[in-house]
Every structure is written in structure tokens, then in C-alpha cells.
Structure 1
């Protein structure tokens, strides 16, 4: 419990830095006033309400959601290298965005979420169906292979279409790097509800997911139906990852890096691990966004690039510390 409280405190400090860091110096008194008595003619209020606060909220949503999604994925597939992209969610979102760009034309920042979210959901459903479905045959290997195959197929289609249709290049180039810079234009409320719903489903199913992580045979012996648990886990992963992708685009490494850190903090209790994963994921993503805004100021390094730069060394360090079998 002390470790969880320490992680929560770290997240609070990172969130505070996110609100205060920037090129414009804002007096402390303006922070509370911007929230309680917003004045659209005050530049400080506008900066806080339309730039910094939406970025913070988007970072909390996407980071927490990806932390939970990665933890559920690694437990269900019993693969310490699994992340939400394994289900083809990112590739499905990219393909849906590409189709929308072609069919609709110019896609605004607010439209991205409504295109990527259903694309992510359909891709996850396709992987689960190809992997065996509710029949209980969707074991870790089959899910991994189905996800890798669909991911490669969809990304190859995306690459082929982008090469042919140059008008789609700008949209895909901006989205694929992952960024919180357009957070104010995203439907943050709707995506927060989706992420919270996915997290709630994961927490409710935590004991069965934990049993499934021990192996199908043992899970059946404990009265768990692997196919049903995998379906519930799929719903949780789809809602959380879909919300994250819709808010921030595909964020590299976060869903892969956070679960081992969460297990180091919370042990092997799935409830605590999921809570720790949400807190750590949110803290890491918000911290990466702050670093990306400051490291090349007044320019910006997109948060997807920063998570890859941070995540690579951290994941190697965590992997070297883990005992064999500790990832599951």
C-alpha cells in the first residue's frame, strides 16, 4: 500500500509540473481563478483552460488506459512482451483513419476519435475471432499469431495506400507519431467514460484474469472458463486502448513497459497491479509530454517519440531485474 501511495504522489507531482511548465509564466493566483472564474479575455486563463489542462487530462486518460490494457494483455496471453498493439488495435485504428480520410476528405482533429475508436474495436474483435473465439481455443499462442498477422496485414495496406494517395500522408504522419497537442479538440469526456468502463471491467474480472494467467488447465480447475475470460479481457482492452488511441494516437512502449513496473510495485495481486499500472502509465505519459515540450522549446518532441526514448532503456532495466517467470 505504501508503494501505491508513493506512485499516486508521484503522479500528483507530475500533473502539477505539467500544469506549470511552459513558455508563458503564469502567476499562481491565476490557476484557481482559471478553473472557478474563467475569463476568456485573460491570456493566462485561456492558456490554462484550452492548452495545458486538456493536455493533462488527455495524458491521464491515455496513460492510465494503456497501463491497464498492457497489464491485461500480458496476463491473458502469458507473454511478458505483449502490449495492446499485439491485438492489432493500433493498426485497426490507423486503417480506419485512413479510410475515413479517403472517403470523407479532410479529417478534423475532433473526427479522429470517432474514426479510430471503432477501427480499434473491430481489429480486436477480428483477432479474437481468428484466434479461436468463445470456444476457448484462443490460447496465448493463437492470439499472438492472429494479432501479429492482422497487424502486419493492416499496416501493409496502410503503407500501400499512403504511397498511392499522397493527400493522406499529412494526416497519417501527424497521427502515427502520437501527440497530446490536439487534446483540446478531442472528445475527452467520451473517451474518459470509455477508458473508465474498460478499467472497471478489468477490475471486476481481475480474479479470473489472474487465474487464467496461471494456465488454462489450472484456470478450468478453479472454475474459470478461458474463452469467456478472454472475451471479457478483450472488451476491457478494446475500450481502454481504443480510448487511448483516439485521444493521443498510437503511443509506443507504454503498454509494454508499465506492467512489469506495476508488478514490482504491487506484487501479483491483480487488483493492485491494475491500479498501479493505471497510476504509473498516467505518470509516465504525462512526464514524457512535459519533457517533450521542454527539451526543444519553443519546439516540441511528440509524446510518442518520448515514450519510446524513455521506454526502451527502462524496459531493458526492468527485464534484467525480473526473475524467470515473474512477468506472468
Structure 2
């Protein structure tokens, strides 16, 4: 419970920093005036931009952190992450194909298409990683995910390059970020995020059983295939919806669950909600850092999380024993 209080306080502090710090300096008094609804102040304009951006970062970070914890639980793979396993790349490819070939322009269409692409990519990676001796080992899943991510990204670029009408917007979206967030963009994704959240949290007990191995889980009464499918569906909904509105943001789902295991252990009943809260904190802090280091411009949050996540990924790989891979 002590760690829960600490994490909630850290999330509140990160939200304040996100609202208070930007690419230009604005006093807290002006920001407070904007929050109180004073429409004739600079603070009002700042609040109108930064508050939706903060809400978007909280939702996206929580979704990616939770999805990463679920994916690691479903696959029993410490390297699992929506980016590493190719789920984000599959969602991004589906959206770009929809824009280029079918003229998609509505956010609702982006959401459904991204979720479909994320689901197909997840199924493909798991199927390929399960081939051969030993089944879906962490190494084979990571390699299948990396190959799928590269292939999907290459196809996305190939489709995008001849289309000057969509290339500029797609390039910016592919980096991954929460800049330009609006409530009109946030509201349509809330049902998908809520459904994914409920499915993932409801799978906590099943993930605890799956951690013991499929045979042990079945012996304890778990319906292994159904439990794995339900948890994976929740993760796909979270990843697809987040990618549709923010672009493919990597490494949040990798870093956050490992950090949370150090705080609360491996019980998914605690690990999953903590991963959601910590993911929101990480993405908020990355977004604030991106605004500060590149003033008067800003660095997209996807670049910042890559700088944080890549060393963690290398460290995790180095810690794995050959017999575990």
C-alpha cells in the first residue's frame, strides 16, 4: 500500500509538470488563471493545449504499460513488448494501408483498422515463434517479432513513399507522440481502452496460473487457451487504440513491468494496475523531457522512450541465461 501511495503521488506530480512545463515559459499564476477559466489570458491558451496532451499521455502510457505486462505474462517472455513483438508495427501498417488504398480519414476507422492490424501481427508472431522444437521460447518470439516489425515497417514505407498526399503526416505520426492531442481525438478511443483495461485486469488470476506452466495451470482449473486469448485480446485493444491516436510508441511496455516487479513482486493482481500507473508516469515524464531538451522546438515522446528503453532491453537480454532462451 505504501508503494501505491508513492506511485499515485508521482502520477499527480507528473501531471502538474506536464501542464506547467512546455516549449515556452509560462508562469504558474497564468496557468492557474487558465485552469479557472479566464479566457482572456495566455494561461487559457496554454491550458487548452497542455491539458488534453496530458490526458492523452496518461491514457497512452497506462495502456502501453498494462499491455506490456500482460504480453509478458501471456508469453512468459521478459522481452515481450508491443514494439518488440511487432504489434505496434502491425497496427501502424494497417492504418497506412487503409489511408493509402481505401482513403480512410475518420478516427473511428483508424481505431478499428489499427486494432485489426495489431491482432493479426500478434497472432502471426506467436504462430511463427511457436514453430519448431520447444514451442514459443522467448528468443524465438523476440526474433519473430523483430522480423515482423521490420517487414511491416518496410512495407509501410514502400506504400507511403509514392503518396505525397499522406507522406508528411504519416512520417510524423510514425515517430510516436502525444503532441496536438484534442478531446475530439481522445473520446472515440475511450471505449476501446476501457474494454482492453477490463479484459487485462480480469486476467490477473489467470496470468498467475499461466506463470506456473500450461500443465500446472490446467491442473489448477484454468482454461489455458481461453485465458491466454482473453488476456491477449485486451492487450491488442490497448495497443491498437493507442497506436491509432499516438503512433507506434516503443519500449514503455518493456521497461514498466520490470520496474513494477521490483516494487510489488510478480503477483499480477498488483503488477497490472501498478504497470498502468507507472506507464502513465513514464510517458508523461518522457513527454516533458522532450519539450525541455529541444527548446524552442520539441522532441517526440517516441524518441525519448527509445533512448530510455534500448539500454533496458540490452540489460534484460544480458541477464538471460542461454538455457532460458
Would you say the 8 A contact 1:216–1:226 is kept in 2?
yes
Q: 1:17 Cα shift?
A: 0.9
- Alignment partners' CA distance in 2, 1:196 and 1:63: 14
Distance 1:209 1:121, change over 3 A: farther
Match of 1:47 in 2: 46
Aligned residues, how many? 316
Q: 1:147 Cα shift?
A: 4.9
- Alignment partners' CA distance in 1, 2:270 and 2:244: 26
- Alignment partners' CA distance in 1, 2:173 and 2:66: 22
Q: 1:8 Cα shift?
A: 1.6
Distance 1:114 1:294, change over 3 A: farther
Provide the secondary structure at the position in 2 that maps to 1:187: helix
Q: 1:222 Cα shift?
A: 1.0
Distance 1:283 1:319, change over 3 A: farther
Would you say the 8 A contact 2:58–2:283 is kept in 1?
yes
Match of 2:56 in 1: 58
RMSD across aligned positions (CA): 3.1
After superposition, give the CA deviation of every residue in 1:231-262 in whole Å (9 maximum; x if it has no partner): 10121101211222123211121111111001
Q: 1:171 Cα shift?
A: 2.3
Would you say the 8 A contact 1:93–1:115 is kept in 2?
no
Would you say the 8 A contact 1:186–1:247 is kept in 2?
no
Provide the secondary structure at the position in 1 that maps to 2:179: coil
Would you say the 8 A contact 2:83–2:251 is kept in 1?
no
Distance 1:106 1:116, change over 3 A: closer
Bigger drift between 170-179 and 52-61 goes to 170-179
- Alignment partners' CA distance in 1, 2:77 and 2:11: 27
Provide the secondary structure at the position in 2 that maps to 1:183: coil
Match of 2:19 in 1: 19
In the alignment, structure 1 residue 4 sits paired with structure 2 residue 4: yes
Q: 1:121 Cα shift?
A: 2.9
- Alignment partners' CA distance in 2, 1:251 and 1:129: 20
Distance 1:97 1:128, change over 3 A: closer
After superposition, give the CA deviation of every residue in 1:190-234 in whole Å (9 maximum; x if it has no partner): 323322321221111110112112211111111112210111012
TM-score by length of 1: 0.84
Would you say the 8 A contact 1:208–1:229 is kept in 2?
yes
Match of 1:102 in 2: 100
Unaligned stretches of 5+ residues in structure 1: 133-138
Distance 1:247 1:165, change over 3 A: closer
